[in-house]
Structure 1
Amino acid sequence: MTDDKAVFLSALPDGGRLLGLDIGTKTVGLALCDAQWTFATAAETIERRKFSKDLERITAVIAEQNIVGLVAGLPLNLDGSMSKQTQAAKAFAQNLKPLGLPILLWDERWSTQAVERDLIASDVTRKKRGKVIDKMAAAYILQGAIDGLAASG
């Protein structure tokens, strides 16, 4: 688990699909990218219950989609410092280490706000926004990461 793009890249095979995670207290948004790291797509939202159930679903997605690495959103404070949410997201990502995949922690400070702004601009109702915002935020996080990785690698 790292926040260093070069370390993450060196741990990955050439290409392959990545799974993005927007880790919240009530839900985990999932997003996928293509093997060439061109675009990220919102996949699903997991209602958090017990970690073992969350892990079961994430493991299934990894197997179904041939995932080679994980990108976990890291909710830092606006000044870059850590909060309770940051620690909770890091702990969740740490618990994914036994999956044996490289994990990149990606700064997600503006992801949910940016996605919500886009959904409002698209005239999506509040009720519908609530159902899609976490997986859309995961796609936003993953897109930022693959763009950053492509630029550095």
Structure 2
Amino acid sequence: MAVVELADLPAACPPNTPFVGLDLGEKTIGVAVSDLTRTIASPAQLIRKTKFTDDAKALFRLMDERGATGVVIGLPLNMDGSEGPRAQSCRAFGRNLQRLRDVPVAFWDERLSTSAVERFLIEDLDLNRKRRANVIDRTAAAFILQGALDRLKAGFSA
């Protein structure tokens, strides 16, 4: 299966199955999972990066446990909308996932998601640096997935 546009992701997956959202960092992968109605995203897990195949196995294990059928990967675009090395790395991650399993993958613009989440964790939850480090990537993944879910619910005609 090829990478799909976000608008086409629901049709590429069985109904009433969750999606996973990924925030790909240098050392970790934040993972979030939606509910069955694909309305609410929740932080799920943090995968510490080792080798790609091991990382993919951990992700697929979580997807199997949750019954998830689609993947939304945060795409870190530059502020002008162009793609730099990090965005290209995220696209390569998605393609490599598909080489291991036929799973629909879509990308979602994640500009400023980590910054927004960090600001929330500091200002609203008053978490110290150590506690933030333990939750920021999973929470950023939920922020990314929630943005994609909200966009799907709103439709693409607007």
What is residue 117 of structure 1 aligned with on the other side? 119
User: Does residue 1:108 correspond to 2:135, yes or no?
Assistant: no
What is the DSSP-based 3-state SS (H/G/I as helix, E as strand, rest coil) of the residue aligned with 1:42? Answer: strand
Q: Which runs of 5+ in 2 are unaligned?
A: none
Describe the SS at the equivalent of 2:69: strand
TM-score of the pair, normalised by structure 1: 0.95
8 Å contact 1:70–1:101 — kept in the other structure?
A: yes
Q: Which residue of 2 aligns with 1:129?
A: 132
User: What is the correspondence of 1:71-82 to structure 2 with a 5 Å cutoff?
Assistant: 71-82=72-83
Unpaired stretches in structure 1, ≥5 consecutive residues: none
Deviation at 1:115, TM superposition (A): 0.3
Cα separation, 1, equivalents of 2:7 and 2:46: 29
Q: Is the 8 A contact 1:21 1:72 kept in 2?
A: yes
SS in 2 for 1:79: coil
TM-score w.r.t. structure 2 length?
A: 0.92
Partner of 1:8: 9
Identity %: 43
1:95 partner SS:
helix
Provide Cα deviations, 1:90-128, integer angstroms capped at 9, x if missing partner.
111111113212111010001101100000011100011
Q: Which residue of 2 aligns with 1:84?
A: 85
Tell me the distance in 2 between the aligned counterparts of 1:76 and 1:128.
27
- The letter of the residue matching 1:114 is A
1:14-46 CA-to-partner distances (Å, cap 9, x unmatched) read 231011000111110000110101211001111
Give the secondary structure class of the aligned counterpart of 2:62: helix
Q: SS state of the match for residue 41, structure 1?
A: strand
Q: Which amino acid aligns with 2:23?
A: D
- Report the number of matched residues: 152
Q: Which runs of 4+ in 1 moved over 6 A?
A: none
- Partners of 2:83 and 2:66 lie apart in 1 by 32
Match of residue 60 from structure 1: 61
Structure 2 counterpart SS, 1:46: strand
Residue 149 of structure 2 is aligned with which of 143, 146, 153? 146
